[in-house]
Amino acid sequence: MSTLKLATPNDVDRLRTSFRVVDVREPVEFTGELGHIAEAELVPLGTVMDAAASWDKSAPIILVCRSGARSGRAGEALVAMGFEHVTNMVGGMIAWNQDGLPTV
């Protein structure tokens, strides 16, 4: 059984072009003051389960939100669905910004 992995914003910055980066915040947050990671696709938390039904369960995924809490819940749900490589970004976009990493 797979488990949810954790990654720092710097880890995610290094890995973001080789992982599917899914931001589970709401649209207003995605375009708001914290910005978003360039490669991220917006899939609000309430829609993740439906959207994930068509995703490759063996492809690596990094989940992102504001603080890491919602993306953690989404990650646990994806692991329960049988996804094999699910990672949650610890600290979310708050930590990403604190680390001075690039946003859109």
Q: Which two tokens stand for residue 65?
A: 């939100």
Largest interatomic CA distance in the chain: 37
CA distance 23 to 92: 9
What pLDDT score was predicted for residue 2?
79
Q: What letter would DSSP give residue 22?
A: E
Q: Which residues of the chain have pLDDT under 70?
A: 1
> Which residue is associated with the tokens 């604190």?
98
The ranges assigned to domains in the chain are: 5-98
Contact indicator for 80, 17 with CB cutoff of 8 Å: no
* pLDDT tens-digit series, residues 28-47: 999 999 999 999 999 999 99
Backbone angles phi, psi at 5, to 5 degrees: -95, 160
What pLDDT score was predicted for residue 1?
65
What pLDDT score was predicted for residue 71?
98
CATH architecture of 5-98: 3-Layer(aba) Sandwich (3.40)
